[in-house]
Amino acid sequence: MDLKLLTPLKVGETKLANRVVMAPLTRCRTAEPDNVPTELNAEYYAQRATAGLIISEATQISRSGQGYAGSAGIYTDAQEAGWKKVVDAVHAKGGKMSAQLWHVGRMSHSYFQPDGKAPVAPSAIAAEGAKCNIIVDGQHKFVPCDTPRELSVGEIGQIVDQYRNSAARAVRAGFDFVEEHAANGYLLQQFQATNTNKRTDRYGGSLVNRARLTLEVLDAMLEVVDREKLGVRISPYFNINGIADAEPEQMALYLADEFHKRGIAYLSIAEPSWVGGIELTDTFKRKIRETFSGTLIYAGEYTPEKAEAAIQSGLADAIAFGRLFIANPDLVERIRQNGPYNVPDRATFYTEGSRGYTDYPFLNV
């Protein structure tokens, strides 16, 4: 069968070979505390280069913005050089790659903070039940996140600067796109959500104020990245990691409209159903489509069949696959051949080394 999922797509000025996107996936495979991408990371991403677009694992813009030991950074020269090797390896295989830039905010631990202080957030409200990943006795261990402290306005400005710097580094490393991670309960969504942002200054209160930091960061990134190469990820209705936003639809539509005005290349929407959240309705997705005219990428428990239907319906332009891409480096070929698919091993999602990372078999090998 001819699948539209496997047909080319132009995103901004960049032509993707197909609409099968590798979702951003934290895998914790860099060494603490330098968090420099390695040859192993390059091999992992190059194995998956037949994706129309690879979105990198979330990559911190500062040590303070980290919450998982081993997650990659892009704020030092060594990290930038490490990423350049990764991107070169993906390009050598004909792939395209976007850099997802993040700051985890309160989803962190004193382990990562300068002088062992508290992590930072819009307000000093702990993420109930949320876990970070730190190294204890040489092993990765999930532990409760620490209660954060409230950011000052001056510190917020520094974070905006860090996003700009990291975006410039991503461009220098050769990424085809740079993505602002404004989803999944991390710093920018902590500012967006009504229950995590109790500020009384221009970054809190009204919806416009709660959206302000997401847009200030985007505008800073636009100073160093062409709008045709910029994307944003949001997660409307996301309800874990202590997020309980009273206005998820209003926030999503307001942000989508602001992204549209700025003419960015793509909007990536992380659906919350894979972590027990609601199913986003077609009515909601239609409103997003009517508001944002760039490329729309959706992710969350898609099978190839469901992905094809979403693209055929006109609500999505491309679909990002997470766990299927962890286990199937040649996912595009497997979709073309209608399977079979390797099954992902959860136990090695966030561990070290090649096991469960670069050793999933290809078809016919």
Ligand X SMILES: Cc1cc2nc3c(=O)[nH]c(=O)nc-3n(C[C@H](O)[C@H](O)[C@H](O)COP(=O)(O)O)c2cc1C
- Determine which residue in the list 277, 300, 304, 356 makes contact with ligand X, applying CB under 6 A: 300
CA distance 153 to 336: 51
Bond preceding residue 340 cis, omega within 30 of 0: yes
Beta bridge partners of 14: 11
How far is the C-alpha of 198 from the C-alpha of 184, rounded, in Å?
19
Burial of 219 from C-beta contacts in 10 A (0-12 / 13-18 / 19+): middle
Q: Name the segment binding ligand X (CB under 6 A); options: 76-84, 141-149, 164-172, 180-188.
A: 180-188
Region binding ligand X by CB under 6 A among candidate stretches 74-82, 213-221, 298-306, 327-335: 298-306
**Is residue 184 near ligand X by the rule CB under 6 A?**
yes
Among 110, 219, 287, 349, the residue binding ligand X under the rule CB under 6 A is: 349
Would you please indicate which residues are annotated as catalytic (active-site) residues? 186
Total chain residues near ligand X (CB under 6 A): 22
Residues 95-134 that bind ligand X (CB under 6 A): 100
Q: Does 82 bind ligand X (CB under 6 A)?
A: no
Phi-psi region of 145 (alpha: psi -120 to 50; beta: other; left: phi over 0): beta
User: What is the rounded distance in angstroms from the CA atom of residue 263 to the CA atom of residue 226?
Assistant: 10
Taking alpha carbons only, the member of 93, 80, 98 closest to residue 37 is 80
Find the binder of ligand X among 322, 329, 336, 360 (CB under 6 A). Answer: 322
Paired residues of 6 in beta bridges: none
- Residue 299 in contact with ligand X, rule: CB under 6 A: yes
Closest CB 122 distance from ligand X, rounded Å? 19
CB 312 within 8 A of CB 4: yes
Out of 195, 263, 274, 337, name the contact with ligand X by CB under 6 A: 274
183 binds ligand X (CB under 6 A): yes
- One residue of 247, 301, 333, 345 binding ligand X per CB under 6 A: 301
Identity at 144, one-letter amino acid code? P
The reply to whether 241 sits near ligand X by the rule CB under 6 A is: no
Using the contact rule CB under 6 A, the part of the chain among 24-32, 219-227, 289-297, 355-363 near ligand X is: 24-32
- Residue located via tokens 């491309």: 318
| The only residue of 321, 329, 352, 360 in contact with ligand X, by rule CB under 6 A | 321
Closest among 144, 176, 208, 169 to 55, alpha carbons compared: 176
Determine the interface stretch with ligand X among 5-13, 84-92, 125-133, 294-302 (rule: CB under 6 A): 294-302
Taken as a whole, the chain contains a residue count of: 365
CA distance 115 to 316: 45
Binding ligand X by CB under 6 A: which of 11, 16, 24, 162?
24
CA 246, distance to chain mean position in Å, is 23
Does 341 interact with ligand X (rule: CB under 6 A)? no
Nearest-approach distance from CB 110 to ligand X, in angstroms: 22
Tokens 């129309």 belong to 52
Closest distance to ligand X from the beta carbon of 326 (Å):
7
**Residues near ligand X, by CB under 6 A:** 23-26, 57-58, 100, 181, 183-184, 233, 270, 274, 299-302, 321-324, 349
